[in-house]
Structure 1
Amino acid sequence: MAREQFRDDYRKLLQTLVARRKASGVTQEDVARQLGIRQNVVSKYELGEVRLNVIEYVRYCRAIKLDPGELLGEFGHY
């Protein structure tokens, strides 16, 4: 798979995470508090400036009350 496709998929994943966070009424500050990090780090995750690793992804999903596997299932077209 081309490197560009990975970037596009990652961008779509971030957009989905942000949309789900907002839909659940959770703020970046709420996520930061749950994860024990600063709000600006959450912002950097969401903007793609800092890449989420798998553990951070799971913790972020749990902070917004989302099953991490559910979202991955939506991206399971490979």
Structure 2
Amino acid sequence: MREAENWSVQRQVTLGLIFAILLQTSGALIWSGRVGERLDYLEQSSDRQSPLAERLARLEAEVRLARESLVRIERRMDE
């Protein structure tokens, strides 16, 4: 029990530990750079597709109105 009470931390840093920390940090920086590039690409792609989405929504509304008109015409013809 006495040994557990007298523990200490050594202040020794090995070359392997320094190398591992540098390698891990560089990997994290590379990964975050790639994520940033991908995010920029997705934002640009979204900006290009936004006008197309608006046009598609307008076309869908026009098709719906045309379909409703056709239904009304068919009802009148059947009467």
Q: Common fold, TM-score beyond 0.5?
A: no
TM-score by length of 1: 0.32
Compare the two structures and name the one with the higher helix fraction.
2
Larger Rg belongs to: 2
TM-score by length of 2: 0.31
